[in-house]
Amino acid sequence: MRRPDPLFRLVETFFREYLQGTRGASRHTVLAYRDSLRLFFSFVAEACSRSVADLRLDDLTVERVLSFLNHLEATRRNGTATRNLRLTAIRAFFRHLVRADPSRGAQCLRVLSLPAKKTAAPMVTYLEPEEVQVLLQQPDRRESNGARDHALLLFLYNTGARIGEALAVQRSELQLARPFQVHLHGKGRKDRICPLWPDTVLALRRIRDHMPSAPGDHVFLSARGEPLTRDGAAYILDKHMQGAARELPSLRKKRVTPHVMRHSCAVALLQAGIDLTVIRDYLGHETVATTGRYTRTNLQMKRRVLEAFWRRAGLHPTKSPRWRPHADLLSFLTQL
């Protein structure tokens, strides 16, 4: 009797023991890897003309991985970033495979050697502080929804929080007495404490006073009293951006999402002269390289660097003497 193929067992241990147990991956990462492998296995099963349940480890070849990546771009119209994310999940599974079964080292090494496709880094969209001020003036704080909108927008700009981090904040994680701060749960289960401006505290107190006193409740709620969703936050931002764009034409050309508020916070910190390592910790970035992209996109900082370089080089603009016509100009031209 033929022994059952270990593929299913390895997939199960990859998710339960390795991702969740060993790495402590977040729920978001687990779901992203699940979706990638589900797409990959379905593609291989179709290529082999059999069901996913009948797949074997020998079916997972480097040629099929390459065909799958091409399929993502050519058929599913996925971008390079999505293609690379799918490849990351597949390579993580093959690393687990080679640990579990070293005899398959050659098969795994070929897959692990596949490089990610290079892609041009997109320009970061952000709002200048003057633009944020106009945006924050749009909500009508006399109304409960307007007070919530103003508090949310100010909170995003103050903390640079990802929208998921902001919407997950609960009342017990806010400290609205000195020292003002909030406990944020970041990506990869990396928590951080972020200070709050007095204005942000006042805005949060205003909406707290209108919430029922139930410990553990989310801070940002919908009109129905339910936790605000990402779509709801995007709608709030878009609504007030339309009002701000009527006052400030420069906003009409910008596509502003909740994540742009995070970018705007980072750029404002850079413009204030804050060190990159401090901004990295403030935003919860993994490395300084991630934070460094803001220096490449901020034109104002580039101008300052150029001016400082100009002064340091000791170069001074020279003024050309003003040209005056000679009295004997016509005579001079005649003699030529």
- 51-71 burial, b at 16+ Cβ within 10 Å, e below that, comes to eeeebeeebbebebbeebbeb
Q: Which of 33, 157, 282, 294 is catalytic?
A: 294
Q: Which of 162, 185, 240, 263 is catalytic?
A: 162
Q: Which of 86, 150, 240, 262 is catalytic?
A: 262
Q: What is the 3-state secondary structure (H, E, C) of 66-126?
A: HHHHHHHHHCCCCCHHHHHHHHHHHHHHHHHHHHHCHHHHHHHHHHHCCCCCCCCCCCCCC
Known catalytic residue at 205: no
What is the rounded distance in angstroms from the CA atom of residue 120 to the CA atom of residue 162?
A: 23
The CA R_g of the chain, rounded to the nearest whole Å, is 28
Phi, psi of 115 (to 5 degrees): -85, 155
Known catalytic residue at 262: yes
To which H or E segment does residue 193 belong?
strand 191-195
What is the rounded distance in angstroms from the CA atom of residue 319 to the CA atom of residue 329?
A: 24
Q: Which of 34, 141, 208, 259 is catalytic?
A: 259
Known catalytic residue at 183: no
Q: Which of 91, 110, 171, 187 is catalytic?
A: 187
Known catalytic residue at 76: no
What own/partner pairs with CB < 8 Å and gap ≥ 24 does 269-277 have? 269/160, 270/294, 270/295, 270/298, 270/301, 271/129, 271/298, 271/300, 271/301
Known catalytic residue at 162: yes
Known catalytic residue at 28: no
Q: Concatenate the DSSP letters of all residues of 256-303 into one string.
A: --HHHHHHHHHHHHHHTT--HHHHHHHHT-SSHHHHHHHHHH-HHHHH
User: Active-site positions?
Assistant: 162, 187, 259, 262, 285, 294
